[in-house]
């Protein structure tokens, strides 16, 4: 293993150069641009580590899979994605989002933390074994999709056709890294998601706002509808919204009791003095791990330029995301949302489109979780902070019946995924590669039931 580790350190520059290459491809899923280019880049690099590679056509973006069959007992899986979030607003970036730059030990670029940096670090960990003629004691599978940032709409189609490929003894999910206290974190679950676009159109055309005395207002209709969804205490008012909510299990509560969410540091990080509704202590933890949300992600209508324009807009639009926890289902919540709007007289507010998936978790007491912790111990010298679920979402539900997944990665608390100035700490990237290499090495001898 020493050879593998020193190879990774000796070739850090080369691996960063390769990472920069893929960061320059602006594969923004929401825009559907440069997707084939990014998929082919990963296909080429999986082939370079001797994997049997397939570029699966779907009705959406292609899914890239790689399989390294070493005839081993155990199989390790990686789930990654080659798509990224839109980089706008560009003017908030200190360097252009698709021109990777290094400053103060950090590598900046859209997608470096979410999740191209992770994907490339994993490829290099495998490459290190091969280039030093070190045996890889496990079989390895990669699934790299291109629609993670838009809700993985066609991944179910891929999974249906390739369910055998999903079988593995353990898997590493796409993201993770160091928490605000500098300790490495693992995320065992992902909340579900319902994303809707609400639209109201009340006039055939924008009107002179003097006519607001006699004409209906689309933005007001939308604002009233939105305010009917949540009260000022944050309680979501959609009828039946909380009906299927399940509390955390006793085992999960035990895990959470040991967690420190570093309330003061987190408040400082966001420039606030307290959390929403004064949440603190156990209540804050309960909300972080098990509260569903109703969030306005975007709002648009009328004049948004500088100065004034006295206009009565014909249309208004809002984008909402709901994070769903165990036992909640996006279709059910969408129906409840529709019924709520109708019951409150907002039949003119349409759900123009929607998307989503259910939540999923790997059980906290699964042996693979402690195995990943052991590998982390060897490299970082401390135990992982185990989060029973992330407050974010991902298509883990498609994998959960096939392979236990643990999410660890090369990001950190200040990685600003989805935001301007996304970056990773190069030191975390280096040690993240070590951790994957150690995990591969240890997995050959891992006894799941020991
Ligand atoms: Zn993301």
The domain total for the chain is 2
The answer to whether residues 227 and 346 belong to one domain is yes
Q: What is the CATH number of the domain that holds 100?
A: 3.40.630.10
Residue 7 Cα, ligand 1 centroid: separation in angstroms?
30
Whether the Cβ atoms of residue 85 and residue 409 lie closer than 8 Å to each other: no
| pLDDT for the residue 450 | 59
The answer to whether residues 14 and 99 belong to one domain is yes
The answer to whether residues 26 and 83 belong to one domain is yes
In a domain, 243, yes or no: yes
The answer to whether residues 380 and 326 belong to one domain is no
The answer to whether residues 137 and 164 belong to one domain is yes
Instruction: Output the tens digit of pLDDT for each of the chain's 450 residues.
Output: 999 999 999 999 999 999 999 999 999 999 999 999 999 999 999 999 999 999 999 999 999 999 999 999 999 999 999 999 999 999 999 999 999 999 999 999 999 999 999 999 999 999 999 999 999 999 999 999 999 999 899 999 999 999 999 999 999 999 999 999 999 999 999 999 999 999 999 999 999 999 999 999 999 999 999 999 999 999 999 999 999 999 899 999 999 999 999 999 999 999 999 999 999 999 999 999 999 999 999 999 999 999 999 999 999 999 999 999 999 999 999 999 999 999 999 999 999 999 999 999 999 999 999 999 999 999 999 999 999 999 999 999 999 999 999 999 999 999 999 999 999 999 999 999 999 999 999 999 998 775
In a domain, 450, yes or no: no
Contacts of 93 by beta carbon, 8 Å cutoff, 6+ apart: 87, 108, 420, 421
H-run or E-run covering 144? strand 139-145
Residue 333 Cα, ligand 1 centroid: separation in angstroms?
23
**CA-wise closest residue to 76 among 385, 406, 359:** 406
Q: Is 20 helix (H, G, I), strand (E, B) or coil?
A: helix
Residue 215 Cα, ligand 1 centroid: separation in angstroms?
42
The answer to whether residues 121 and 248 belong to one domain is no
In a domain, 388, yes or no: yes
Residue 408 Cα, ligand 1 centroid: separation in angstroms?
14
Determine the Cα–Cα distance for residues 304 and 249; give it in Å rounded to an integer. 47
In a domain, 68, yes or no: yes
Whether the Cβ atoms of residue 299 and residue 321 lie closer than 8 Å to each other: no
The answer to whether residues 324 and 211 belong to one domain is yes
Mark which of 357, 374, 393 sits at the end of a domain. Answer: 357
Helices (H), 329-407: 330-343, 367-380
Whether the Cβ atoms of residue 176 and residue 377 lie closer than 8 Å to each other: no
Range of the domain at 95: 2-188+362-443
The answer to whether residues 71 and 173 belong to one domain is yes
In a domain, 449, yes or no: no
Q: What are phi and psi of 192, to 5 degrees?
A: -80, 175
Mark which of 357, 388, 405 sits at the end of a domain. Answer: 357
The answer to whether residues 297 and 317 belong to one domain is yes
In a domain, 246, yes or no: yes
The answer to whether residues 8 and 149 belong to one domain is yes
Q: What is the CATH number of the domain that holds 311?
A: 3.30.70.360
The answer to whether residues 214 and 327 belong to one domain is yes
Residue 149 Cα, ligand 1 centroid: separation in angstroms?
5
Mark which of 304, 322, 357 sits at the end of a domain. Answer: 357
The answer to whether residues 247 and 167 belong to one domain is no
Determine the Cα–Cα distance for residues 35 and 12; give it in Å rounded to an integer. 27
């Amino acid at each position: 293993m020493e050879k593998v580790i020193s190879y990774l350190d000796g070739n850090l520059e080369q691996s960063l150069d390769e990472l920069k290459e893929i960061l320059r491809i602006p594969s923004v899923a929401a825009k559907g641009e440069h997707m084939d280019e990014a998929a082919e880049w990963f296909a080429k690099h999986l082939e370079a580590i001797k994997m049997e590679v397939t570029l699966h056509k779907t009705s959406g973006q292609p899914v890239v899979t790689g399989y390294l069959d070493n005839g081993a007992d155990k199989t390790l899986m990686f789930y990654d994605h080659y798509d990224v979030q839109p980089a706008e607003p560009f003017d908030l970036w200190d360097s252009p989002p698709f021109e990777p730059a290094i400053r103060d030990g950090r590598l900046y670029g859209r997608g470096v933390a979410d999740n191209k940096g992770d994907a490339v670090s994993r490829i290099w960990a495998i490459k290190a074994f091969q280039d030093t003629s070190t045996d890889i004691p496990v079989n390895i599978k990669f699934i790299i999709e291109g629609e993670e940032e838009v809700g993985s709409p066609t991944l179910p189609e891929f999974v249906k056709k390739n369910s055998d490929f999903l079988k593995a003894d353990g898997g590493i999910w796409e993201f993770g890294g160091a928490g605000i206290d500098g300790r490495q974190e693992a995320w065992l679950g992902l909340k579900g998601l319902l994303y809707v676009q609400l639209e109201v159109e009340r006039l055939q055309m924008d009107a002179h706002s003097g006519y607001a005395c006699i004409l209906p207002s689309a933005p007001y209709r939308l604002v009233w509808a939105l305010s009917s969804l949540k009260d000022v205490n944050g309680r979501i008012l959609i009828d039946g919204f909380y009906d299927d909510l399940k509390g955390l299990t006793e085992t999960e509560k035990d895990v959470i009791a040991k967690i420190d969410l570093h309330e003061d540091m987190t408040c400082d990080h966001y420039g606030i003095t307290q959390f929403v509704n004064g949440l603190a202590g156990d209540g804050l933890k309960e909300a972080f791990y098990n509260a569903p949300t109703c969030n306005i992600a975007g709002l648009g209508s009328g004049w948004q330029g500088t100065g004034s324009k006295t206009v009565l807009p014909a249309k208004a639009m809002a984008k909402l995301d709901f994070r769903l926890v165990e036992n909640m289902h996006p279709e059910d919540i969408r129906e409840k949302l529709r019924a709520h709007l109708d019951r409150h007289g907002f039949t003119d507010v349409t759900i123009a489109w929607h998307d989503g998936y259910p939540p999923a978790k790997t059980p906290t007491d699964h042996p693979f979780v402690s195995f990943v912790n052991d590998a982390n111990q060897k490299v970082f010298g401390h135990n992982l902070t185990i989060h029973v679920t992330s407050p974010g979402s991902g298509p883990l539900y498609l994998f959960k019946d096939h392979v236990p997944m643990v999410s660890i990665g090369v990001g950190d608390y200040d990685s600003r995924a989805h935001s301007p100035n996304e970056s990773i700490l190069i030191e975390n990237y280096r040690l993240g590669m070590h951790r994957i290499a150690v995990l591969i090495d240890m997995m050959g001898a891992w006894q799941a039931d020991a």
